[in-house]
Every structure is written in structure tokens, then in C-alpha cells.
């Protein structure tokens, strides 16, 4: 394995991406509580792992089939903040779906980001198909797909991993394990300690890593991506993360999450830890960190203004396009 230690410059870029995702996420919650957007589903607590995976990819070259919490990943693959918010506001310029899908159902073709669905797990066989096509044509692009641990109970997850194992597909399946499927805790979802324990059953490599630790996650993700690119097949990469928020803007987690557990969540927040770690390593100065944070907030402000002022889609967009044209 090549030396995968990130440079100081790269570490600063990683921190910047995590902060951008967090600030944008926070703004979405505010906009929802103000009644300005109809829905939000959050990636808070997942950012370190998502940034790590994103930086392990050849962004713009590799393919990403994400799920709805992957805000940091889609930003990392080049989706502008304003484009995310155009989706939240349901505006015509929303590149994911032109205002057709609910917010956070990302699609960003310029960054090779495929369309997120609401029925969970459907992206897994599709990602296997993306990887199969890549393998059949002898391409070198790796497919990264993400899924929550709750969705690993879906049949599509198992079916896709069977393909991945049998055909040694160039794929990384990232399971973002935040220990809750809306309200159902992990112990009622699976009788194993780690999702990666399942890997052997499919004949793929399984790895679990502390997804709150960006550096550890990056090493694991980089190995998985490099292995996939070199013909070594699929890795089932479980990143253990924390869901710092309710499931979505429409959920109240106080009903099912013990107060003590909720209070302890703050200590799990990966961002303050990352900030302190990078400053201690000398990869980031206090001043540089603050600059990154201020710049991210300005970017959010500008994106917010732009998206809120943007026009709605024309009514005709409700009706189509349903079918593609006949050009073969």
C-alpha cells in the first residue's frame, strides 16, 4: 500500500469540507424551523467519515451513489452549496431533480453523483451495476456507495454484496452506522456487533473503523478505494458515527432516545475533536481554523440568498420529462 498519510494542506482542506457541510446543515435546520423549507435530513455527526471517504476517492473521476445523509460527500464531489439549497427551497435550478424530489435527495451529474432515492437500499444493486459496467469495459473508476446501518437489513443490500463478492466488483460499500434506524436501535436491527462481520458471508473484505476519527477513517477508506481500483474487489467499510440530530426535521428523538444519551452526544461531535487534533498536529493554526469557519459561513449566507431568490419551476415540470427521446 502506498503512503496514504495526508499532507498538512490536505488536512486543512478536509477540515474545510467538514465545516462547510456542518454550517450548511445547521442553516437548513434554521430554515426549516422558520418555515422556509419543507424538510431536512441531516448528516451531522457523519462528517468526519464522509470527508475521509470523499478524499479517498478520485473526485470527479470515481462514481458516487450516496444516500440522503451524505451532504459532506456531495459537497466534496463539487456540488455547490447553492445547488443543495435550491433543492431545499424546491427551486427550478435544483440540479438534483428540478424541485421534483424532497430535499437531500442528491444528484449531481458533473461530479458523477447518482440520484438518491427514498426507498432505502435501492442504490446498492445499482452501484453494483455501475461497478459491473466499469469492470466489463476495463475502466479504472471505483464506485463508492453509502447506506445507513438500518438499511443493511434490506434485501437489496444482501443481493448487491453477493454480486460484489462473486464478481470482485470495484466498489466500496460504506455503511454509516449511527446505531439508529429512525427510532429502532441497532440491537433490534441485527444480532451482531459490527455490520462488517457480514462481509465474510459475501466473500468481500470487511472493515470497521471509528467514523468519528477522520484520520483513521481516511486510512481505511483509502485502502478500500485503492484495493477496488487495483482489482482486489469490494470492501464493506463500516464507519461508526453518531447521529447528532433527530432522524429528520419531522422526527422527535426525545421520544425514544434517553436524555442522558442525547446529552452525551455532544461529546461525540467529530468536528471539535478534529479541530483540536489538527491544531495539535500543526496542520492547522487557530487563525487558519477560524478563517475556514468564517469563510464557510459566508459561503452559506451567499448560497442561502441566491437559492431563496431563485424562481420556482414552471408547472409543466410536474408532468415530465417521463420518457427519454429516441436517440440511441
Partner 1 sequence: MADKTLIEGIREALDEEMARDERVIVIGTDIGVRGGVFLATQGLYAKYGPNRILDAPLAESSIVGVGIGAAMNGLRPVCEIQFADFIHPAYNQIANEAARMFYRTGGQYPVPMVIRAPYGGGVGGGLYHSQSIEATFAHVPGLKVVIPATPADAKGLLKTAIRDNNPTLFLEPKKGYRMIRGPIPEDQGCVPFGEARVSRPGRDLTVLAYGMMHFYALQAAESAAKEGLDVEVVDLRTLNPLDSAGVLASVRRTGKALIAYEDNKFVGYGAELAAQIAEDAFTALDAPLLRVAAPDAPAAPYSHPLQDAFLPGPRAILDGIRTLARY
Sites of contact with partner 1 (CB under 8 A): 63, 65, 96-98, 100-101, 105, 107, 109, 114-115, 117, 119, 122, 124-134, 136-137, 155-156, 159-160, 162-163, 166, 317, 320-328
DSSP-derived secondary structure for 18-41: HHHHHHHHHHHHHHHHTTSSS---
Measured from the CB atom, the residue of 130 and 212 that comes closer to partner 1 is: 130
Measured from the CB atom, the residue of 126 and 153 that comes closer to partner 1 is: 126
Q: What is the DSSP letter of 119?
A: S
Question: Which one is catalytic: 65, 105, 240, 243?
Answer: 243
Q: How far is the CB of 89 from partner 1 (least distance, A)?
A: 16
Question: Is 303 buried (19+), middle (13-18) or exposed (0-12) by CB count in 10 A?
Answer: buried
Q: How far is the CB of 108 from partner 1 (least distance, A)?
A: 9
Based on the residue annotation, tell me whether 243 is a catalytic residue of this protein. yes
Measured from the CB atom, the residue of 146 and 274 that comes closer to partner 1 is: 146
Q: How far is the CB of 239 from partner 1 (least distance, A)?
A: 23
Q: How many other CB atoms are there within 10 angstroms of residue 29's CB atom? A: 16
Based on the residue annotation, tell me whether 312 is a catalytic residue of this protein. no
Question: Which one is catalytic: 198, 222, 247, 275?
Answer: 247
Based on the residue annotation, tell me whether 180 is a catalytic residue of this protein. no
- Asked if residue 58 lies in contact with residue 36, where contact means CB atoms within 8 angstroms, the answer is no
| Look-up of cell digits 462488517 | 196
Measured from the CB atom, the residue of 88 and 217 that comes closer to partner 1 is: 88
Q: How far is the CB of 10 from partner 1 (least distance, A)?
A: 29
- Asked if residue 45 lies in contact with residue 273, where contact means CB atoms within 8 angstroms, the answer is no
Strand partners, 237: 174, 207
How far apart are the C-alpha atoms of 119 and 122, rounded to whole Å? Answer: 6
Enzyme catalytic residues: 243, 247, 256
Amino acid at each position: 500500500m502506498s503512503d496514504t498519510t495526508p499532507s498538512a494542506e490536505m488536512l486543512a482542506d478536509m477540515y474545510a469540507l467538514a465545516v462547510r457541510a456542518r454550517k450548511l446543515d445547521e442553516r437548513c435546520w434554521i430554515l426549516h424551523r422558520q418555515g422556509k423549507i419543507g424538510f431536512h435530513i441531516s448528516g451531522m455527526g457523519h462528517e468526519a467519515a464522509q470527508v475521509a471517504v470523499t478524499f479517498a476517492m478520485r473526485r470527479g473521476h470515481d462514481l458516487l451513489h450516496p444516500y440522503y445523509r451524505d451532504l459532506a460527500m456531495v459537497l466534496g464531489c463539487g456540488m455547490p452549496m447553492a445547488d443543495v439549497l435550491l433543492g431545499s427551497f424546491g427551486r427550478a435550478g435544483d440540479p438534483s431533480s428540478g424541485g421534483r424530489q424532497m430535499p437531500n435527495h442528491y444528484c449531481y451529474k458533473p461530479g458523477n453523483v447518482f440520484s438518491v432515492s427514498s426507498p432505502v437500499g435501492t442504490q446498492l444493486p445499482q452501484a453494483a451495476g455501475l461497478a459491473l459496467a466499469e469492470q466489463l469495459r476495463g475502466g479504472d473508476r471505483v464506485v463508492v456507495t453509502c447506506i445507513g446501518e438500518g438499511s443493511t437489513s434490506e434485501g437489496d443490500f444482501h443481493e448487491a454484496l453477493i454480486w460484489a463478492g462473486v464478481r470482485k466488483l470495484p466498489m466500496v460499500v460504506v455503511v454509516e452506522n449511527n446505531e439508529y434506524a429512525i427510532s429502532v436501535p441497532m440491537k433490534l436491527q441485527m444480532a451482531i456487533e459490527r455490520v462488517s462481520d457480514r462481509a465474510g458471508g459475501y466473500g468481500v473484505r470487511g472493515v470497521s473503523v471509528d467514523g468519528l476519527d477522520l484520520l483513521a477513517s481516511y486510512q481505511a477508506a483509502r485502502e478500500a478505494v485503492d484495493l477496488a481500483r487495483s482489482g482486489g474487489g469490494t470492501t464493506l467499510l463500516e464507519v461508526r458515527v453518531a447521529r447528532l440530530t433527530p432522524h429528520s426535521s419531522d422526527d422527535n428523538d426525545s421520544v425514544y432516545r434517553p436524555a442522558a444519551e442525547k446529552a452525551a452526544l455532544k461529546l461525540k461531535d467529530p468536528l471539535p475533536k478534529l479541530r483540536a487534533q489538527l491544531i495539535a498536529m500543526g496542520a492547522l493554526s487557530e487563525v487558519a481554523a477560524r478563517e475556514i469557519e468564517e469563510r464557510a459561513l459566508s459561503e452559506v449566507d451567499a448560497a442561502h440568498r441566491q437559492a431563496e431568490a431563485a424562481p420556482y419551476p414552471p408547472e409543466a415540470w410536474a408532468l415530465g420529462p417521463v420518457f427519454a427521446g429516441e436517440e440511441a
